[in-house]
Amino acid sequence: MAKNIVITGVSSGIGRASLDLLHEKGYHIFGSVRNQADADKLSKIYPDRFTPLLFDVQNHDEVVKASKVVFEHCETLAGLINNAGIAIPGPLEHLSEKQFEKQLDVNVKSIRRITNLFLPLLGAKLNASKPPGRIINISSVSGLFNSPYNGAYSISKHALESMTDVYRRELRRYGIKVIALEPGPIKTEIWKKNLNKMDEFKDSDYYEVLQKADKIIEKTEHNALPVENVSRLIAKCMTISRPKTRYIVHKNKFVFRLMAYYLPDKFSDWLVHKTLTSSNRHRPF
């Protein structure tokens, strides 16, 4: 019988590419989508070993209801891939409480709710008879380095990094491995979703920098890595016996690691400022 994996957010991008590759590798995928049209489209493409779960991660009653089919079908899960996520841009000073809360609820709080829901199937029981599953959290390089004007997103991914560490240390007793993937720019829909968003900050002092955002998004997307770089890594994390605890996926991993871990804060602040004021980039990487 096929091994089972739950992936959140399979309608596009990293989730969709992971569904494709893991399905090809023989897994049964329970993939979350937010509307019936996506569920129908994917069920046609994958007539077997795919079950759509219809939920918005912010609505936990919906999540619990949709999860019943997983509990009915599976004795165990080989993996849970917490992928669904959003990026709400803007200066921290001007993001509304609602925007900030949504960013944290989708990218952090829902991941704890969903992880806890599926833990029994992942083997959170001492002396469980089946091998434990794995949890892969799709974090970001923004979980390691804070970019201005992407503050809420950076904060959410830093929190997800912490959550990954805490779960990994708590779930060790069950043998459940918890892994963070930290991609830099990847070619997916997430970029387009943030085009034309900066006018809402037109009256703020930050607009001088923010008005470059669309050009920068287009340029960053153009230079982004293909989505398969992440989906292949997800497949590797599911199958190798000793996965690392975290993986950076970036064109220039060495420089990024240097920036994130070793440069003094004040030098990084200067570099970020210089990059934003003197060129067309709004992220330093």
Active site residues per annotation: 153
Contact with ligand NAP (CB under 6 A): which of 138, 233, 248, 272?
Answer: 138
Task: Assess 123 for contact with ligand NAP (CB under 6 A).
Answer: no
Task: Assess 85 for contact with ligand NAP (CB under 6 A).
Answer: yes
Judge whether 250 and 183 are in contact, CB under 8 Å. Answer: yes
Q: Distance between CA 46 and CA 260 in Å, rounded?
A: 40
Judge whether 252 and 185 are in contact, CB under 8 Å. Answer: no
SS3 (DSSP) at 227: coil
Using CB under 6 A, which of the segments 77-85, 122-130, 207-215, 232-240 binds ligand NAP? 77-85
Judge whether 137 and 178 are in contact, CB under 8 Å. Answer: yes
Closer CB to ligand NAP, 124 or 238, in the complex: 238
Q: Mask 206-235, x = binds ligand NAP (CB under 6 A)?
A: ------------------x-----------
- In single-letter form, the type of residue at position 103 comes to Q
The edge-to-edge listing of strands for the beta sheet with 4-7 is 50-54, 28-33, 4-7, 79-82, 134-138, 177-183, 246-249
Contact with ligand NAP (CB under 6 A): which of 12, 99, 204, 268?
Answer: 12
Closer CB to ligand NAP, 124 or 155, in the complex: 155
Q: Which residues contact 147 (CB under 8 A, 6 or more apart)?
A: 154, 272, 282, 283, 284
Task: Assess 22 for contact with ligand NAP (CB under 6 A).
Answer: no
Task: Assess 53 for contact with ligand NAP (CB under 6 A).
Answer: no
Contact with ligand NAP (CB under 6 A): which of 5, 6, 7, 13?
Answer: 13
Judge whether 31 and 19 are in contact, CB under 8 Å. Answer: yes
Sites for ligand NAP among residues 156-185 (CB under 6 A)? 183, 185
Q: How far is the CB of 189 from ligand NAP (least distance, A)?
A: 4
Closer CB to ligand NAP, 13 or 52, in the complex: 13
Closer CB to ligand NAP, 55 or 201, in the complex: 55
Sites for ligand NAP among residues 232-261 (CB under 6 A)? none
Task: Assess 66 for contact with ligand NAP (CB under 6 A).
Answer: no
Q: Which residues contact 197 (CB under 8 A, 6 or more apart)?
A: 89, 90, 213
Closer CB to ligand NAP, 147 or 188, in the complex: 188
Judge whether 283 and 216 are in contact, CB under 8 Å. Answer: yes
Q: How far is the CB of 285 from ligand NAP (least distance, A)?
A: 11
Report, in angstroms and rounded to the nearest whole number, the Rg of the chain calculated over CA atoms: 19
Structure tokens at 227: 């989505």
Structure tokens at 254: 């060495």
Judge whether 17 and 29 are in contact, CB under 8 Å. Answer: no
Q: Which residues of this chain interact with ligand NAP, rule CB under 6 A? A: 9, 11-15, 32, 34, 56-58, 83-86, 106, 138, 140, 183, 185-186, 188-190, 193, 224
